[in-house]
Amino acid sequence: MTSNALLCFCGSQQLYADCCEPFHLKTKQPQTPEQLMRARYSAYAVKNAAFVRDSYAKEKQAENSLSEIKDFATSCRFVNLTVLDSGYDEDTGFVKFKAHYFYQDLYCELAEHSKFIKEDEQWRYLDGEITPVADIKIKRNDTCPCGSNKKYKKCHSV
Ligand SMILES: [Zn+2]
Ligand SMILES: [Zn+2]
């Protein structure tokens, strides 16, 4: 499989090259908060910490260092993203989503209501309310929770 045929990490069922990659390469700007949110998720999945940092609202960039973003991205295996709802007006917007990922041997669900603002004509991520969900500890012989029907040790295990 060439990288051109890679499905996008954000779950859009489009090719990465037609979906989030142009945002990561900065050849296109996200036109909606949902596009930006998907691009941020994909950026975590491809460990593009600079994109994640630069797409925070300016006031948040200082508290989200590149090294922290990179550490989080490299310690997780991202499974899927589900956008539940989104909307926007002139210069504010929101996205409700769920993301699943593995952190070490924990299967984690992140449910978040994210807020976005427009700065310099670009959508940026401001902050979000996270709904805590219990992380599930996975054993090597368990069926992988990603939906592959494989054992965890043959699937998402490190
Ligand atoms: Zn995408
Ligand atoms: Zn798996």
The one-letter code for the residue type at 13 is Q
Per-residue pLDDT of 95-110, as tens digits, reads 999 999 999 999 999 9
Question: Do residues 39 and 95 touch, judged by C-beta distance below 8 A?
Answer: no
Task: Give the CATH number of domain 3-154.
Answer: 3.10.450.50
18 is written with which tokens?
A: 């037609």
Query: Within its chain, how far is the Cα of 130 from the centroid?
Result: 14
Taking the CA of 40 as reference, the closest ligand is 1
Cα–ligand 2 centroid distance for 48 (angstroms): 22
82 is written with which tokens?
A: 């589900």
Per-residue pLDDT of the chain (158 residues; tens, 9 = 90+): 455 589 999 999 999 999 999 999 999 999 999 999 999 999 999 999 999 999 999 999 999 999 999 999 999 999 999 999 999 999 999 999 999 999 999 999 999 999 999 999 999 999 999 998 889 999 999 999 999 999 999 999 98
What is the pLDDT at residue 1? 46
Please list all protein residues whose beta carbon sits less than 5 angstroms from ligand 2, which is an ion: 144, 146, 148, 155-156
What is the pLDDT at residue 3? 53
At CA 57, angle to CA 59 and CA 81, rounded to 5? 135
Where along the chain do its domains lie? 3-154
Number of Cβ within a 10 Å radius of residue 11:
18
First to last CA, the chain: 22
Cα–ligand 1 centroid distance for 8 (angstroms): 5
Cα–ligand 1 centroid distance for 148 (angstroms): 21
Please tell me the total number of residues recorded for the chain in this structure.
158
pTM of the model: 0.92
